[in-house]
Amino acid sequence: MSVNVGIVGFRGYSGVDLVQILSRHPEVTPILLEHRQDSSERPQPIGFTGPERIGANVEAMVASAIKAVFLATPPEVSMELAPPLLDRGIKVIDLSGAFRLRTAENYTRWYKEPHSAVAWLEKAVYGLPEVNRKQIPAAQLLSNPGCYPTAANLAIRPLVQSGLIDRAAGIVCDAKSGVSGAGRKPSLKTSYCEVTENFSAYSILDHRHVPEVLMVSGLDEGEFSFTAQLIPCDRGILETIYFRAPGIKDASTLAQIYQSAYRDEPFVRLYAPGVVPDLRAVQRTNFCDIGFKFDPATGRGVVVAAIDNLVKGAAGQAVQNMNLMFGWAETAGLL
């Protein structure tokens, strides 16, 4: 029997991917929840019928027997919409940054605005399955990780946990993202003529995704340098991560660290030492691909991690979390 799930923000890039994944998912029926019609939709052929649409109000959702709602909305909208749904027993999977950090103070520091749903902050479960799989099934409010932190944490956490890297020397994460990561709302920064044949850095050292990496990886702020950059492409994140590990004697040690971390993970793929993924390897998939190069003579290491920012970095991981929350196969709808 199919479970009804709702999507708010179905016109945005993450929302469009969510609708597409959920429409093919064996366990659910997606319903579009109209919140604000502030963006146009693509023209459709004659005879096209997408999912059912209802208004994004709680009574309508209850009447439609919606069991879970995906919020593909800005943080301030998620903070407004999530509590009444949760109060009525509807599970919420929030794709925004609203509930990712643990305290209102930290949220305000990085997002530069007050938090308006503090009571739910501590109840939210951070949905990075590879780290947090046991907590996810019980989640009422699932906070889906940010796109940059998903790749960064999957690449960095095993290094930190191994105890073999020189944290004092710092870890550098040079991150690059396709333009869809900035959302569908038109802006000069994401206009075609500004982006094509260009490449630019932004939010150097102070991107709002940094605290997620610190929280999950265990690094201190002074140990972690992060720069976000815009690739002239639609989708995909590639992060080049630099570390120093004088204590590691050969690449196979590193290989073992990653293999023991991800041996049984359905959505993390590893490469032979010296081989690294590109964006093409992961676009339109829910995989996080990780490869590395290590120079034993000097202890310098470089890890390359790649995801699709809209899939493993957003819609796909949200569905992976839904699968865990409902007890379905973790990969349902995602392979």
Consecutive H or E run containing 104: helix 104-111
Smallest separation (angstroms) from a copy of itself to the CB of 26 = 15
Tell me how far apart the alpha carbons of residues 312 and 201 are, in angstroms, rounded to a whole number.
23
The CA distance from 299 to 43, in Å, is 55
Residue 141, by phi and psi: left (phi above 0), alpha (psi -120 to 50) or beta?
A: beta
Cβ proximity to a copy of itself: between 80 and 265 the closer is 265
Residue of 147, 173, 233, 288 with catalytic role: 147
Asked if 272 touches a copy of itself (CB under 8 A), the answer is yes
By the rule CB under 8 A, 201 interacts with a copy of itself: yes
Nearest CB to a copy of itself, comparing residues 104 and 255: 255
Q: Give one DSSP letter per residue of 253-320, joined into a string.
A: HHHHHHHHHHTT-TTEEE--TT----GGGTTTSS-EEEEEEEETTTTEEEEEEEE-TTTTTTHHHHHH
CB of 85 to a copy of itself, least distance (A): 29
Query: Cβ distance 318 to 10 under 8 Å?
Result: no
Q: Are strands 300-307 and 237-244 parallel, antiparallel or unpaired?
A: antiparallel
Q: What's the min distance (Å) between Cβ of 8 and a copy of itself? A: 19
In this complex, which beta carbon is closest to a copy of itself, that of residue 1 or of residue 188? 188
The site that binds a copy of itself (CB under 8 A) totals a number of residues, namely 72
Establish if 271 lies at the interface with a copy of itself (CB under 8 A): yes
> Contact region for a copy of itself (CB under 8 A) — 92-100, 120-128, 133-141, 276-284?
276-284
Task: Decide: 320 and 330 in contact? Cβ < 8 Å.
Answer: yes
Query: Which residues have a Cβ under 8 Å from the Cβ of 297 and sit 6 or more positions away?
Result: none
Is residue 90 within 8 A of residue 66, CB to CB? The reply is: yes
Please list every residue from 25 through 64 that binds a copy of itself, using CB under 8 A.
39-40, 42-43, 45-48
Q: Least separation, in Å, of the C-beta of 168 and a copy of itself?
A: 7
Closest CB to a copy of itself among 5 and 290? 290
Stretch that binds a copy of itself, among 63-71, 112-120, 127-135, 168-176 (CB under 8 A): 168-176
Looking at residue 317, its amino acid is Q
Among positions 116, 198, 256, 260, the unique one binding a copy of itself when judged by CB under 8 A = 198
Taking the complex as a whole, the smallest distance from the CB of residue 158 to a copy of itself amounts, in Å, to 15
Q: At what angle do helices 210-217 and 147-162 cross, to 10 degrees?
A: 30
Binding of residue 3 to a copy of itself (CB under 8 A): no
Site residues (CB under 8 A) for a copy of itself, limited to 203-242: 204-205, 221-222, 225, 227, 229, 231-236, 238, 240, 242
Residue 95 and residue 314 in contact, taking contact as beta carbons nearer than 8 Å:
yes
Residue number, 118 or 204, with CB nearest to a copy of itself:
204
| Per-position x/- string for 294-323, each x denoting binding to a copy of itself as judged by CB under 8 A, each - no binding | -x-xxxx-x-x-------------------
Question: Would strands 224-230 and 200-202 be described as parallel, antiparallel, or unpaired?
Answer: antiparallel
Please state, in angstroms and rounded to a whole number, the distance separating the CA atoms of residues 186 and 199.
18
Shortest distance, CB of residue 41 to a copy of itself, whole angstroms?
10
147 carries an active-site annotation: yes
Instruction: Say whether residue 281 binds a copy of itself (CB under 8 A).
Output: yes
Query: Which of the residues are catalytic?
Result: 147
